[in-house]
């Protein structure tokens, strides 16, 4: 039961990578839907980490982090756009969050909410986008690869049918490959039927289903949550949750790609005819 949160996150990079394999046939609306859902999934996963996988909380440090949020709010409301000032406050907040016992990923999400998207004095200047562009190279080519490398190290030589069929590994695999897509698709269709949302023009429900299957790719954040959930398991472990994560993500990638490849091909052929 400790691994209940593992299937929650959607790996944005890998799921978009699968979509990119389909080229220009993928409608923009499907890409926007997948990116939006993945972002909300990751924010939800970070909040779950903060509230359910944190221990020995320090009230003083949490109040310090809260005070930093007040300062960030003040800077934002007064139109301050200098990144160095935000960086200084964020460094204090990150340290406080680290010492509070809450995982520091939450500090990054909170900081991004307060850095101005636009400059009131110059609408063409976007501090948040500039910061994103400056961080992109380091994050994409250094931080994420290192994160994946240290969290995904699993010896395939020790993988057996017994390890794959272990209740924990199998539960994680099914949670990613079946549970996550079913949840996404059913709730989306419920929203459409209730009139809360609607399918984009020209997008059949089966393509939404294909994207929902891709949401079962839960590589990086799932590995991180798995490490937190089972960090007390002694080696040699009775199971390896990473096997379930890798297998569930692989099956989701293959199935989602095939569903979209088949449906997008049919749509394209109908248009050409």
Q: Indicate the DSSP class of residue 200.
A: P
The whole-number pLDDT of residue 152 equals: 62
Confirm whether 88 is domain-assigned: no
Domain total in the chain: 1
| Residue 252 tokens, joined | 């989701």
In a domain, 86, yes or no: no
β partners of residue 53 = none
Structural domain of 161: 12-54+103-268
Give pLDDT tens digits for 142-183: 887 777 677 666 666 666 777 778 888 888 999 999 999 999
**pLDDT of res. 25:** 85
Distance between CA atoms of residues 125 and 71, nearest Å: 22
Q: What percent of the chain has pLDDT over 70?
A: 89
- Distance between CA atoms of residues 169 and 247, nearest Å: 9
Domain annotation covers residue 64: no
Q: Which two tokens stand for residue 243?
A: 């096997």
Give the CB-side neighbour count of residue 39, counting CA atoms within 13 A.
8
Q: What is the pLDDT of residues 97-133, one digit of tens each?
A: 888 877 777 788 888 889 998 888 888 889 889 988 8
CATH of the domain at 186: 1.20.1530.10
According to DSSP H, which parts of 167-273 are helical? Answer: 167-174, 180-193, 205-214, 220-229, 241-272
169: in domain: yes
3-state secondary structure of 155: coil
The predicted structure's pLDDT at residue 234: 46
What are 108's two structure tokens?
Answer: 């990054």
Q: State residue 156's pLDDT score.
A: 62
**Selection from 258, 245, 244, 172 nearest residue 213 by Cα:** 258
Q: Is the peptide bond before 192 cis (omega within 30 degrees of 0)?
A: no
pLDDT-based confidence at 67, cuts 50/70/90? Answer: very high
In a domain, 98, yes or no: no
Is the overall model pTM greater than 0.75, yes or no?
no
Name the H helices within 53-143.
Answer: 59-77, 83-100, 105-114, 127-138
pLDDT of residue 153: 63
Q: Is residue 2 a part of any domain in this protein?
A: no
Query: Which pLDDT score, from 0 to 100, does residue 143 have?
Result: 81
Rounded distance between C-alpha atoms, residue 96 and residue 70, angstroms: 14
Is the per-residue pLDDT at 272 higher than 50? no
Say what percent of the chain tops pLDDT 90. 30
Q: Which two tokens stand for residue 99?
A: 């010492």
pLDDT at position 132 is: 86
In a domain, 38, yes or no: yes
How far, in Å, are 22, 77, 117, 119, 129 from residue 125 at the CA level? 34, 17, 8, 6, 9
Domain annotation covers residue 254: yes
């Amino acid at each position: 039961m400790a691994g209940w949160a593992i299937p929650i996150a959607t790996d944005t990079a890998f799921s978009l990578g699968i979509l990119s394999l389909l080229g220009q046939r993928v409608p923009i609306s499907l890409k926007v839907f997948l990116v939006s859902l993945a972002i909300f999934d990751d924010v939800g996963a970070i909040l779950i980490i903060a509230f359910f996988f944190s221990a020995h909380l320090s009230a003083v440090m949490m109040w310090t982090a809260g005070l930093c949020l007040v300062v960030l709010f003040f800077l934002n409301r007064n139109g301050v756009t200098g990144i160095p000032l935000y960086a200084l406050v964020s460094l204090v907040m990150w340290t406080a969050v680290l010492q509070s016992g809450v995982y520091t990923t939450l500090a990054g999400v909170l900081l991004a909410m307060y850095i101005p998207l636009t400059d009131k004095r110059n609408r063409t200047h976007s501090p948040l986008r500039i910061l994103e562009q400056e961080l992109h190279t380091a994050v994409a080519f250094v931080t994420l690869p290192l994160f994946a490398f240290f969290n995904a190290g699993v010896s395939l030589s020790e993988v057996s049918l017994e390890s794959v069929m272990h209740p924990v590994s199998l539960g994680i695999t099914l949670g990613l490959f079946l549970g996550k897509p079913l949840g996404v698709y059913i709730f989306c269709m419920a929203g459409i039927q209730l009139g809360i949302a609607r399918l984009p023009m020209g997008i059949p429900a089966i393509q939404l289903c294909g994207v929902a299957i891709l949401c079962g790719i839960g590589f990086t954040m799932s590995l991180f949550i798995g490490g937190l959930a089972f960090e007390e398991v002694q080696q040699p472990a009775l199971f390896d949750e990473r096997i379930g994560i890798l297998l569930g993500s692989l099956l989701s990638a293959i199935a989602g790609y095939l569903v979209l490849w088949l449906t997008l091909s049919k749509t394209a052929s109908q248009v050409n005819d």
